[in-house]
A and B are shown apart, each in its own frame.
Chain A
Amino acid sequence: MSFHKEHELHTRRKGRNIGLGLTLVALICIVFGLTVVKVTRGDFEPPRGQVEGN
């Protein structure tokens, strides 16, 4: 297997692709962070009465 020579398009769009990649990583971090905050605050726990009723 041989390595291809990098297409000119990839060089030209390097900045755009890195920017998009970093944006997606930031989005993942934000969703993860929000999940951690909401779980630790108990936002997803059922109301107390409902748990006792079970």
Chain B
Amino acid sequence: MSDATINSTVNQPEAGFGDYVALLKPRVMSLVVFTAAVGLLAAPGAVHPFIAFCAILFIAIGAGASGALNMWWDADIDAVMKRTARRPVPAGKVTADEALGVGVALSGLAVTMLWLATNWVAAAILAFTIFFYAVVYTMWLKRWTPQNIVIGGAAGAFPPMIGWAVATGGVSVESVLMFALIFMWTPPHFWALALFMNSDYENAGVPMLTVTHGRRTTRTHIFVYTLLLAVLALGAGVTAIGGPIYMAVAVVLNAMFVLGAWRIWRRDEDSAALDKYLVEKKFFRLSLLYLFAHFGAILAEAALRPWGMGGW
């Protein structure tokens, strides 16, 4: 790089270290860290604390890398959507090629280091998760089908399975149930968001259910998926990851969640517009608490087990 090219960029926004961190979607990462840690701690068998810390770190880096690859590919639609317009690539702070470089480099680092630190099963699931999010969801499903977030939601559901695999070296019914919990939770969570951010997706040409099938159908889908989720969440309570604490949390939160979904289903667009989508926004916020509380309860059951109190 010559001085001329260096000086020509002086007036353009300069990327700071924080902008590269923002490529990794830190907020999504916090969910990944939490659910992966629960999967790891709820699994039978002890993991050395430092190895557990490193494993969670590499899982988080892998998730962040797939976020960077998503920002590389989706820079065009991120620029159109209000919610994403300030991301580093559409804001012009980081180039799309840099995002690609960061994504590929960190993907390789995260998978290799997780393999060396733990086992190949955990590393293989992490590699598949990155592939699924970056290629299957971002490049293929997102712009093609309104079922994008239903199938794509699997990518966000893998972290507890990876955590479990770190501790056990394999896959089990319990880890699949934790996967299923996030998988079934994702559609109502995102469709509620789509209901009050609808024009965003429409402007970007993303075929969200609200855009392709209308809001009425989306409301019905939210209600049906929430019912299925409630059955699954309560069913998980009678397995090895459940227990009295989990069951109490699941009963209360699923009742609230089903009630919220039922309210969304009953509403029409006029009344929703009148109170600025208050019910939908409340449901979206509740969905965040829902997931954290369920995984928190699984963690509490696992933490109490050494004292003979966790589980059934």
Contact = CB atoms under 8 A, between A and B. Distances in A.
B17 A18 contact: yes
A9 B16 CA distance: 12
Interface in A16-47: 16, 18-20, 30, 33-34, 37, 41
A13 interface: yes
Contact of B17 (A8, A15, A30): A15
Contacts of B248: none
B50 A19 contact: no
B48 A37 contact: yes
A4 interface: no
B117 interface: yes
Interface string B109-126: 000010011000000000
B14 A12 contact: yes
A37 B10 CA distance: 46
Nearest to A8: B10
B16 A30 contact: no
Interface residues of B, number: 16
A15 B17 CA distance: 6
A7 B7 CA distance: 10
Category for how many chain A residues contact B: 10 to 19
Contacts of B48: 37, 41
B31 interface: no
A16 B16 contact: yes
B273 interface: no
Contacts of A19: 16-18, 20
A36 to B, nearest CB: 8
Interface of B: 6, 10, 14-18, 20, 48, 50-51, 54, 57, 113, 116-117
15 contacts: A12-B10, A12-B14, A15-B17, A16-B16, A18-B17, A19-B16, A19-B17, A19-B20, A30-B54, A30-B57, A33-B50, A34-B54, A34-B117, A37-B50, A37-B51
**Top 4 A-B pairs ranked by shortest CB distance?**
A19-B17, A16-B17, A15-B16, A37-B50
